[in-house]
Amino acid sequence: MDVDKVAVFASVGIAIVVAAFILWGPSPKPRKKGKVIGINNLGYTCFLNSLLQALAACPMFIGWVKKQNEKMERATFIPSLLSVFEKINGYTEDLYGDVTPVEIISSLGNQWKFAPGHQDVHELFHVVLSALQAEIQPVNRKGCLSDALPQSPVMVPDTKKSDTRYNDPITFRSVSCNDIVSVNNSNIPNGFDRNCNNHVMSSTTSVSNIPMTHNKPGMILARSSELLSKSIGSKESKDSFKPWSSLCTMPFSNVPPMSVEVHPFSGLLTSQLQCSRCKWKSAVHYDKLETVSLPLPPMGPYIKSHHTLEELLTRFVSSEVVQDVLCDGCGMRCVATKTLTLGKLPKCLCLHISRTTWSSSGVPIKRDDPVKFPEILALDPYTFTETRKRNARGDPEATMLLTNRTTSQDKHKYQLRAIVEHRGPVDSGHFVCYRRGNKAGQWLYTSDNVVEGISFIEVSCATPYLLFYERVNSI
């Protein structure tokens, strides 16, 4: 028997063995029901995967999506989102295979405009909320009171006028996503930090405060009213000043009119101005709230070991100094203080830690300052009602003591559900998610299709970019 015949018989034998294994071999085991699974990365989609994992850990939000799905007849995005949530959390009938978020991308249609290098999970979150709000709008609905809320202008970063990239609100991103090769550093490999379990801290250039060549009308000079007296004597700008009423609104772009039915992340912010000259106060203005963006304090000569979420929220509701405002009380151009508070609290809360800052040359860089966050967060001190009480007591700056207070008497408590973390520099890196599991006290680390059980101590070491909380009645 020659070699060729031996080879033929061997090939036939191997084929028979493989076929027999496929037909009669052991079948794959199904996953346990209620077991959280990962999501396949389709290429530059870690920001989508981390957001889906975070939202899948919010039972109040999922319950709302289910309710809307039962009412909708022609919706496409809502059933797609609910289907993916059920697959991720292991509550679908199909307990085989991985989760692939193709249906989410296809159901978003032309709202999916995330090119490589411009993939920010915070922006994607607003796209998701916009798609949800668009589908729950009644076809022939009548106007409601909330539609009268002012639509605020788009906030454009104040950078070098010659570079149009930074003046375009569409291309401005806080941080970018996985798999992106840095424009400024060609040594970063494609697929940077993919499914990385070790905590990665990118080296960040220390940036001092960007000097201002002149004070523009309406520009925030400081976060504390302590600087008010210093600012009154400052040189007035030659530019045309903004009217009083235009400074009472927060800048939100592309916010659809709020209908009677709103998603659980919907709330209201309040803002009010007070003239430093005549002490006249403007009417309270309300703005629509979907996320609360909390900027990090300016970098100074003394670097803190860490910030706390309560400190950032305290800074958020502290008075701001605004100059060159036309007062409706005395009719004079003046320096005013602006107070911003939480008006109507949402059922689900998304906090955004703004980590992008600008160097003196106008280059965006990312700050990796550690921010400590509680498992139970009380929002009572940051509400309009509590701020008004402090003002009535003549102690408007009492917010500085908020970090030392107890939460036993608070009514508005929120439980941490998930954290989205960005690893890497501003224009590349990877998004991961720390989320609650389906079991009591269970915490999970997810990175695309990797899912691992971890302790809350490990979760507390994360560097948060987005934090998701849900309101609880009792703890």
Confidence at residue 92, expressed as pLDDT on a 0 to 100 scale: 77
pTM listed for this prediction: 0.72
pLDDT tens across the length of the chain (475 residues): 565 665 566 666 666 766 655 555 555 566 677 789 999 999 889 999 999 999 999 999 999 999 999 988 888 999 999 999 999 998 877 666 778 899 999 999 889 988 777 789 999 999 999 999 999 886 555 555 555 554 433 333 333 333 443 333 333 345 555 443 333 343 433 333 334 433 333 333 333 333 333 333 333 333 332 333 333 344 433 343 445 444 444 444 444 444 468 899 999 999 989 898 888 888 899 999 999 999 998 877 676 778 999 999 998 988 888 888 888 888 889 899 888 899 999 999 999 999 888 877 888 888 899 999 999 999 999 998 887 777 666 665 544 445 455 556 778 999 999 999 999 888 888 999 999 999 999 999 999 999 999 999 999 999 999 999 999 976 5
Confidence at residue 413, expressed as pLDDT on a 0 to 100 scale: 94
- Give the whole-angstrom CA distance, residue 339 versus residue 383: 11
- Give the whole-angstrom CA distance, residue 194 versus residue 429: 8
Residue among 292, 336, 283 at smallest CA distance from 313: 292
- Give the whole-angstrom CA distance, residue 354 versus residue 376: 21
Confidence at residue 420, expressed as pLDDT on a 0 to 100 scale: 97
Q: Contact at 8 Å (CB) between 336 and 228? A: no
Confidence at residue 230, expressed as pLDDT on a 0 to 100 scale: 39
- Give the whole-angstrom CA distance, residue 330 versus residue 397: 25
